[in-house]
A and B are shown apart, each in its own frame.
Chain A
Amino acid sequence: MITKRQYVITYYYLVRALFFGAATSYLINTTGNACYLSAIIGIGLGLGFSYLLYYINKVKEEKKIVDYVGRGLLANGIKLLLLLIGVVLLNNVLVSISTMAYAFYLVSTPVIFITLAIAIVIYYALKKGIKGFLRAIEILFPLSIIIFILKFSTVFEAMHLDNFKPWLNSDLKSILKGSLVFFSNTITPGILMLNFQKSDYEYKNNALGYLLGSGTILFVLILIIGIFGMPLARMLRYPEYMILKKVNILNFIENIENFLTIVLIIDNLVVGVLATFLVRDVVKSWVKKEKIIKWWDIIFLLGMCLVSVYLFNNHYANILRLYRYEYILMLGLSLSLIGLILWQIKRLDQ
């Protein structure tokens, strides 16, 4: 059961989440000064994709997607894709939060400790159940909006129009590639919305959640370019964090970037929790042994912690691969999944 308001808020969080870390930086590097144009094209594509999600949710009615697709080869294919999307998203969450925390705050803390701490928060949310979790993020939503307004209004003054020039100095190929990067990173977490049971919302709720989330990303991109200029924005690994350093409220409150980062971490935790819920549901549909189901969350989270630390955090080359190719992987998985689900809907109709 999810209310309309919770649906909009959850979608808002999901859309924003992957833009903490690799996505913002990669988009700026790919498209240069025209990144906001790529974002606008990406939003257009994303709204189309949101309609597909809305359609699937409408068709599956009260069921979760895992239950709706039923059994058979096609259903298993869909479940496998859902599992892979869950794994990729959770890995992204663990890697981006731990890398950022390790780089800026906890420089002498072993990364595995940071990752385990995130896993514990996710596990705690799982234990509280989806209802409690949705209520929690509903409460946190005003904080996210207030911090966004605070950030935008206080940092706005530091922007320079000259930093946007030369206008649209990118070729069409880069702009289109950038829009795919934006599209891929905003729509893939949205897949997690298929796992909710209630579907009494309308497309406008879906579109509102997507527009709110992607709109805030667009504003942040404009802030980054306007403040740092393109050459510096390209050099920075966490430009969205670096602009928080410029927040200065009436020359009285400054150096509050660490506090403001909480919003970016909450976005990621929402994805992490919902991805783990989705993976659990897929595994539940395959494995009937009670014992495995009981310990699955702990085993899965521990496994993902080890993967994110020993395969990614400790190997920069792999992080670089993630940075460059993750959007292609996510795009492939998301489009294949939606294609297969639509096919299954057609089959079930017949």
Chain B
Amino acid sequence: MKKILLVLMCLMMCGCYDYKELNQISIIGGIGIDYDNEYIVSLEIINDKKTSEGDSDSVKTATINGTGKTFVEAFNNAIAKVDRDPYFYQMQVLLISENAAVKGLNEVFDYLLRESKINNSFYTVVTKDTTPQEVFQINSLTEPVASSKIVKMLKDGSGDIKFNKNDEFDLLVGKYVKQGIDISLVALEMEDGEIAFNHMAIFNGDSLITFLNKDDSITYNLLTNKSEGIYLTSEDNVVALFGNKTKKEFKDGKIVITFTADATITEVQDNIDFKDLSVYSKLSQEFSKTMQENIENLIDHSRNYNADILGLGQLIYADKPNSYQKGIGLKVLVEVNASINVNKNGITFEVIK
């Protein structure tokens, strides 16, 4: 009996029933979704084969496209063209073209969240003035896989616009289904053949409304993200912000946004004396005012676009769920208090004249 049991356990518990070797699977780095009268789904496949002898490190990618009337049909048509078993667990990014984002993302979110073979820890990016197919085909010397490059730039890069730690797909859907907040996604552009991030795509419900301008996008990132070293310009002076904190609360019938950050002087007019203590408070006041104006502009613009990207409605819903109405966050009075504390000047006392 023990022998039979042992044989059965060897056969059934070794996990080899439906295993697949690495050469039997196609690792998908990213999925792209475009829309032009029908859905176009692109799969970025990471090719792990050696390209030539002694060139074992080179990884090339291939892009396979599928089309269909619905997203799922296009997705399945793309999968059908892959010669090996598609493996989505290493998927890093979902690229959505402007057209597809305008069409609406409900179907896409629903399918990808439900599908068990797709890991939900990838990031979502909207492509502006370019298509996902074009992005997947870029040739970069530093990072041959476009999906990895995008994620590395937005997670570890030094750009002004970055992923929020809560931008992973499942948490993004969590935000999308919440009351009183509209989603916003990082927008990707191509500048001289290289990937660049200068804007945020903002949504109303599941449809793309517009792209924020660069200043608004940076302000949005400062308000929602832990951003280190983002530059803030006021007249001829520039400071780098760090340790930023945002507090939003709903009290006495209005929303109060309090923003605080420390700042390091980066560039100043040549008549400034760093040994003079009043310089710091003067600069602090100047940049606090600039930041306050930036936040007010962002709120005005989001009101104009009818997209509650700062989740002002969510604050009202959290406090008074019974009196909450859709869009109330865009109508309520907002008070902004910004405080920038300029307290570092680098390693010199004087400006070169």
Contact = CB atoms under 8 A, between A and B. Distances in A.
Nearest to B168: A246
9 contacts: A107-B18, A109-B18, A158-B165, A162-B314, A165-B317, A228-B174, A231-B179, A245-B170, A255-B121
Interface stretch (B6-14, B97-105, B131-139, B200-208): B6-14
B173 interface: yes
Contact of A113 (B12, B120, B165, B314): B12
Given A229-B178, A231-B174, A232-B173, A245 B121 contact: yes
A166 interface: yes
B335 interface: no
Interface residues of B, number: 29
Nearest to A242: B170
A166 B318 contact: yes
Nearest to A169: B321
Contacts of B5: 120, 123-124, 127
Contacts of A109: 17-18
Given A124-B9, A245-B120, A106 B317 contact: no
B12 A116 contact: yes
A117 interface: yes
B170 A107 contact: no
B13 A120 contact: yes
Contacts of B165: 158
B8 A120 contact: yes
A253 to B, nearest CB: 14
Interface string B1-27: 000010011001100011000000000
A245 B113 CA distance: 14
Contact of A166 (B13, B173, B317): B317
Contacts of B314: 162
Nearest to B1: A127
**In terms of DSSP, what is the predominant structure of the interface of chain A?**
helix
B18 A117 contact: no
Contact of A162 (B18, B173, B318): B318
Lowest 9 CB-CB distances: which A-B pairs, in order?
A165-B318, A232-B174, A231-B177, A166-B321, A108-B18, A117-B12, A229-B174, A103-B116, A228-B174
B174 A113 contact: no
B105 to A, nearest CB: 15
Interface residues of A, number: 29
A59 interface: no
A235 interface: yes
A83 B150 CA distance: 58
Nearest to B173: A232
Contacts of A165: 317-319
Nearest to A162: B318
Contacts of A121: 13
Interface string A75-86: 000000000000
B344 interface: no
A316 interface: no
B173 to A, nearest CB: 6
A259 interface: no
Interface string B279-321: 0000000000000000000000000000000000010011111
B171 interface: yes
A259 to B, nearest CB: 13
